[in-house]
Amino acid sequence: MNDVVELVRPAERKVTRLSDLTASQQAAIRQIPAEKDAVTVPLSATRPNAIFTGADRYEAEQARIFQRFPVPIAPTALLAEPGSVVAIEAYGKPLLVSRTRNDEYRVFINACQHKGAKLVEDCAVHRQGRIVCPYHAWTYGIDGKLIGVARPDMFEAVDKAARGLKELPSRVWGGILYAQLNGGEADWSNLSPQVADDFGALGIPDAHVYGRRSFELKANWKVVLEPFLEGYHVQRLHAASIGTLFQDAPTIVDLFGVNIRQVSGRIGYVPAMLDEQPDGNIHKLVTHAYTAFPNVVLVTSQYYTSLMILMPRAVDRTTVHYYMLTPGPATTPKAAEVFERSFEMIIGVFGGEDFRAAEITQAGLSCGVPETTLYCGLESNIIRYYEALESLL
């Protein structure tokens, strides 16, 4: 997918204050020590090569996680207004996501009930009330109902009520739309209410999608995920970009089932800063990083939030849908400049550094080297996540 960047008149920056956050977020932030007071604990944990390269492990994850439980499809912010629809390639399935005029979010298989043709072929968001199949012009409402058949006189009978689009069970959670891929009864128990509240406090449900891009990576989805669970790589992999902004110290971690919240102070942070400017932008001082079940990554920045959904396609293939979220479209030239520069920078950091690291890592792992990966104290969140994930396997 090409870049989809909205360079309209960008928006006045909204300040997120400490008091705007949930009580749980505030408590975690107040535990962050100054860098000089941080305590590091060595670790020597391992995981076998096969969790990244083995077909059996991949199939187990598909059967027991990605097909068994609802999985994330897209942020609701992508459909900013009722009466919108967008096609998304998700987990190897063509999906159609709509926001009806009644403000309901729906997820359908993007396939006509005549012969299965894709109804929408691009990745743009469309404002429209009807969807017409490009093959034989069967027409559907964005609520999935079949409302028109070309040359109905040529069919002995078409039961329109039985030929609506195939809908998947779905739910909005923290501003993210989840769906049950196998169409069966959905088990929502892995979606943490606390993380949903946190996302609400961070403004995710009401955010604006400034830009988005999709990446097709030659790497296992967990290899892609690992950098967002640890700070060990930041001052090294990102030495020439953002590495100087972050402390080389452990984060404050909270687990909510198979959901992890990390908060860390930026360079120069000391706890007294929280009370020196109580109405200041908390994102200048602190970075939030979430891994939400099972494959959502959310990272806050001073002017925007990065949201990624890591979708496994094969044991060594992952599609990443990246969204840069802002509080709203920009309304000043300065905001326009900041948003545009931020989008270019973060695509370079994630695409050119984190995702490149994932692909060169997978190249070695696929050769069987190393036989076991080794994790240090600054990577302990990876082990926490794997333990929670493995409990579902």
- The whole-number pLDDT of residue 255 equals 96
The chain-wide mean pLDDT, for the chain, equals 94
DSSP character at residue 246: B
Rounded alpha-carbon distances, angstroms, from residue 207 to 87, 92, 169, 211, 324: 20, 27, 24, 12, 10
Please say if the pLDDT value at position 351 is more than 90: yes
Please say if the pLDDT value at position 323 is more than 50: yes
Helix, strand or coil, per DSSP, at residue 355: helix
pLDDT digits (tens, 9 = 90+) for 49-73: 999 999 999 999 999 999 999 999 9
| Contact partners, residue 37, CB within 8 Å, separation at least 6 | none
Mean pLDDT along residues 6-25: 72
CA angle at residue 229 from 353 to 375, to 5 degrees?
95
**Would you say domain 71-179 falls under CATH 2.102.10.10?**
yes
- Residue predicted with more confidence, 114 or 278: 114
Q: How many CB atoms lie within 10 A of CB 89?
A: 17
- Residue predicted with more confidence, 7 or 135: 135
Confidence band of 177 (pLDDT split at 50, 70, 90): very high
Q: Let me know if the fold of 4-69+190-392 is the same as that of 71-179.
A: no
CATH homologous superfamily of 4-69+190-392 = Naphthalene 1,2-dioxygenase Alpha Subunit; Chain A, domain 1 (3.90.380.10)
Please say if the pLDDT value at position 121 is more than 80: yes
**Residue 191, exposed/middle/buried by CB under 10 A (0-12, 13-18, 19+)?**
buried
Q: Are strands 372-375 and 139-141 parallel, antiparallel or unpaired?
A: unpaired
Q: How far apart are CA 167 and CA 16, in angstroms?
A: 37
Handedness of CA 208, 213, 216, 219 (dihedral sign): negative
Helix, strand or coil, per DSSP, at residue 311: strand
Helix, strand or coil, per DSSP, at residue 254: strand
Helix, strand or coil, per DSSP, at residue 256: coil
Please say if the pLDDT value at position 9 is more than 50: no
Q: How far apart are CA 208 and CA 327, in angstroms?
A: 6
**Residue boundaries of the structural domains of the chain:** 4-69+190-392, 71-179
Q: How many CB atoms lie within 10 A of CB 57?
A: 17
pLDDT digits (tens, 9 = 90+) for 237-254: 888 888 887 878 778 999
Q: How far apart are CA 284 and CA 64, in angstroms?
A: 40
- The whole-number pLDDT of residue 243 equals 80
Q: How many CB atoms lie within 10 A of CB 102?
A: 8
Mean pLDDT along residues 160-182: 97
Please say if the pLDDT value at position 338 is more than 70: yes
Handedness of CA 144, 145, 150, 156 (dihedral sign): positive
- The whole-number pLDDT of residue 249 equals 74
Handedness of CA 338, 339, 340, 345 (dihedral sign): positive
- The whole-number pLDDT of residue 1 equals 46
DSSP character at residue 65: I
Helix, strand or coil, per DSSP, at residue 276: helix
Q: How far apart are CA 15 and CA 346, in angstroms?
A: 20
Q: How far apart are CA 385 and CA 247, in angstroms?
A: 22
Cβ–Cβ < 8 Å for 166, 110: no
Helix, strand or coil, per DSSP, at residue 88: strand
Q: How far apart are CA 311 and CA 305, in angstroms?
A: 19
Q: How far apart are CA 205 and CA 243, in angstroms?
A: 29
Handedness of CA 392, 226, 350, 21 (dihedral sign): positive
Q: How many CB atoms lie within 10 A of CB 66?
A: 20
